[in-house]
Amino acid sequence: MQKREFNKLLLYIFALVGVTISVFPFYWMFTASTLTESQIFKVPPTLVPDGNFMDNLNNLTEGWPIWSALINSLVVSGITTITTIFFSALAGYAFAKYRFKGREPLFISVLLIMMVPTQVMLVPMFIIMMNFNWIDSYFALIVPYLVTPFGVFLMRQQMLAFPDDLIEAAKIDGCKDFGIFFRIVLPVMKPACAALGIVTFMHSWGNFIWPLVVVSSEELYTLPLLLSMMVQPGQVVQYGQVMVAAAIGLVPMLLLFLFFQKHFVSGVFGGSVKG
């Protein structure tokens, strides 16, 4: 009995230490955003929030385009998320429920391109953007991400389970292919769409290397780009302001998680986690 209690205690200690390490950076980020520079770097450290959030925020908005970066991130992530859901569902539905010439090789091409890291295409993509005259424009940030191979793959996997009887019944009722997709398939596939939407939004929200390459003017900064510019070498980093900006960028993700917790796990882990 004693040994059992001891094991249980060990379990709780492990969980407590682990969760503390896991959560502390978040706590420190939010706390530091309410502190002055000297409080942040005080010895011993200030561990409780203070009242300097508004000062930090005001200094931040004076020196950096934080609101336009927030809006840019929301616009870019919002648009690409909606189009990715829609186009992926369309293609996924076709791959899962139609038999057509070339289906197999085309689907294999989806799988193959999924494995090519985007960084590999950075240089040719940059040259394409130059040729299109899209450098430093919303087009560069949005158009290449209108739909992703991962989205098509995820949707196809989910659509495989869609009951054929429903499609058949709709056909008998005189519904055309597009009608079936819009009125029957899309509404039933809402959870899958939500899952894909979350993972797409998250990827887009955190996308860093692409905006870094194609954006140069401040008005087009997305949040990660703005954050990285705030700590560029050769300038005095104002950590209080940086942490306010970081907190502003994190809040939408936390809200998204709060509202879509269930879809979150199935989206983030794609096909790898069931249930």
Partner 1 sequence: MPSIETKKQNLNYTQPSVNKKKFSLLNLSPYVFITPYFLIFAVFMLYPLIYSFVLSFSKWRAGVTTFVGLENYKMLLTDPFFWKSLGTTGLILVIQVPIMLILATIIATVVNSEKLRFKGLIRLGFFLPVLIDLVTYALVFSLLFNETYGMVNQGLNAIGIGDIKWFSDGTWAKILIILAVTWRWTGYNSVIILSGLQAVPKDLYESASIDGASKITSFFKITVPLLKPVLLFCGIISTIGTLQLFAEPFVLTGGGPREETTTVILYLYDKAFGNFDFGLASAGAYVVTTIIAILSYFQIRITKGGEI
The footprint of partner 1 on residues 33-62 (CB under 8 A) is 40-45
25 binds partner 1 (CB under 8 A): yes
The distance of closest approach from Cβ of residue 48 to partner 1 in the complex, given in angstroms and rounded to an integer, is 14
Query: CA 203 to CA 200: how far, in whole Å?
Result: 5
75 binds partner 1 (CB under 8 A): no
Q: Which is nearer to partner 1, 79 or 265 (CB)?
A: 265
Pick out residues in 183-212 that bind partner 1 (CB under 8 A): 202, 205-206, 208-209
The distance of closest approach from Cβ of residue 90 to partner 1 in the complex, given in angstroms and rounded to an integer, is 4
259 binds partner 1 (CB under 8 A): no
126 binds partner 1 (CB under 8 A): yes
93 binds partner 1 (CB under 8 A): yes
Query: CA 225 to CA 223: how far, in whole Å?
Result: 5
270 binds partner 1 (CB under 8 A): yes
6 binds partner 1 (CB under 8 A): no
The distance of closest approach from Cβ of residue 270 to partner 1 in the complex, given in angstroms and rounded to an integer, is 7
The distance of closest approach from Cβ of residue 190 to partner 1 in the complex, given in angstroms and rounded to an integer, is 19
**Tokens 């996308």 belong to which residue?**
207
Three-class secondary structure of residue 227 per DSSP = helix
Three-class secondary structure of residue 232 per DSSP = coil
In this structure, are residues 220 and 142 in contact, taking their beta carbons and an 8 Å threshold?
A: no
178 binds partner 1 (CB under 8 A): yes
The distance of closest approach from Cβ of residue 196 to partner 1 in the complex, given in angstroms and rounded to an integer, is 13
Question: Hey, what are 265's tokens?
Answer: 């796990």
Question: How many Cβ atoms sit within 10 Å of the Cβ of residue 191?
Answer: 14
Q: Which is nearer to partner 1, 25 or 187 (CB)?
A: 25
Candidates 48, 51, 62, 98: give the one binding partner 1 (CB under 8 A): 98
In this structure, are residues 63 and 69 in contact, taking their beta carbons and an 8 Å threshold?
A: no
Q: Which is nearest to 227 in space by CA: 257, 207, 197, 202?
A: 207
Candidates 6, 12, 67, 182: give the one binding partner 1 (CB under 8 A): 12
Pick out residues in 138-167 that bind partner 1 (CB under 8 A): 143-144, 146-147, 149, 152-153, 157, 164-165
Candidates 65, 72, 170, 224: give the one binding partner 1 (CB under 8 A): 224
Question: Hey, what are 275's tokens?
Answer: 């249930």
105 binds partner 1 (CB under 8 A): no
Count residues near partner 1 (CB under 8 A): 98
In DSSP notation, 155-223 reads HHHHHTTS-HHHHHHHHHTT--HHHIIIIIIHHHTHHHHHHHHHHHHHHHHH--HHHHHH--SGGG--H
Query: CA 84 to CA 148: how far, in whole Å?
Result: 6
246 binds partner 1 (CB under 8 A): yes
235 binds partner 1 (CB under 8 A): no
In this structure, are residues 191 and 100 in contact, taking their beta carbons and an 8 Å threshold?
A: no
